[in-house]
Amino acid sequence: MKLLNQNVITIFVLIFCCSIQAQVISDTEKSVLLDFYKELNGNQWTAKWNLKQPISTWHGLTIKDGHVIAIDLSRNNLSGKIPKSIGELEYLTSLNLSLNKVCGKLPQELFYIPNIKLVNLEMNNLKGNLPKNYSMCENLEELTLFNNSFDGPIPSSIKDASNLRVINISGNYFEGGIPKEIEILKKIEVLGLFGNKLSGIITIDFEQFPNLTELSLAYNNFEGEVPNGIEKLKELKYLQLQGNRFSSYENLEKLNIENLQTLDSDNVNFKDDSSEYIID
């Protein structure tokens, strides 16, 4: 019996030690977190990190197998710039800093993280152009930058993030057209471009996005015909076209409105009993 008890105790100690060890992260990752806390004014956060306590107790962190895999500090009164050292969190899969006062430019280093899947920075004060290189973040699925002050063109290189399902860059100051290269992004489900300074004729064939459920082109300066392929999207539920200078809506003749939950347009009224349209 004594031998059995000793074995049980030994197993318990081993499990306990392994559990503790799993929460001990490398000096590199700890250094990045401390840099993150400093640059984003951690002393002013709503839920502060107690730097004297184990990292596993710090608010908003998810740690697995001794690595930081997620940071969720939304609505936490963050201010300041995202440090370039963020790129050293090579196991990071999710970064959510939404609804804060984060400012400055978005560091390219964030998109050098090979495991990153979600980047949500909506409703902050970020500005400048988007980074140019997405070739190293092929696992990226969601990029949400709604309601910031980004400007410049939408980089055609975003096509390299081939697993993107959500792109929401509404509420910024992006200029130019929609790069045709994004037709490569076959998995796109949400494309939000609402409220920018985008312009010109849209050459995208939206039939290339069979999974698209939400498309918002509203309140830009697009012109010419409403783009091809929208009428063939079987999964589409939200469509916003208003606030542009489209000259023709003929491409929407065969649009099936039965599955639509939202349809906003300046010049088109759809009959209740068919998919036909009437131009005012």
| pLDDT confidence tier of residue 128, bands split at 50, 70 and 90 | very high
Total residues belonging to the chain: 280
Q: Are the CB atoms for 93 and 110 separated by under 8 Å?
A: no
Residue 201: C-alpha distances to residues 27, 233, 248, 254 (Å): 51, 20, 11, 21
Q: Cα–Cα distance between 29 and 80 in angstroms, integer?
A: 20
pLDDT higher than 50, residue 277: no
Q: Are the CB atoms for 260 and 236 separated by under 8 Å?
A: yes
* pLDDT one-digit tens code per residue, 13-35: 333 333 433 458 999 999 999 99
* pLDDT one-digit tens code per residue, 65-105: 999 999 999 999 999 999 999 999 999 999 999 999 999 99
* pLDDT one-digit tens code per residue, 186-226: 999 999 999 999 999 999 999 999 999 999 999 999 999 99
pLDDT at 8: 42
Q: Does residue 240 come out as left (phi exceeding 0), alpha (psi in the -120 to 50 range) or beta?
A: beta
pLDDT at 21: 39
* pLDDT one-digit tens code per residue, 35-52: 999 999 999 999 999 999
pLDDT at 87: 97
pLDDT at 65: 96
pLDDT at 5: 54
pLDDT higher than 70, residue 254: yes
* pLDDT one-digit tens code per residue, 256-270: 888 899 999 876 554
Domains detected in the chain: 23-252 (3.80.10.10)
How distant is the alpha carbon of residue 141 from its chain centre? 7
Mean pLDDT of the chain: 89
Residue 150: C-alpha distances to residues 2, 95, 121, 131, 179 (Å): 68, 18, 12, 11, 17
DSSP per residue over 66-106, as a string? TEEEEEE-TTS--EEE--GGGGG-TT--EEE--SSEEEEPP
* pLDDT one-digit tens code per residue, 136-169: 999 999 999 999 999 999 999 999 999 999 999 9
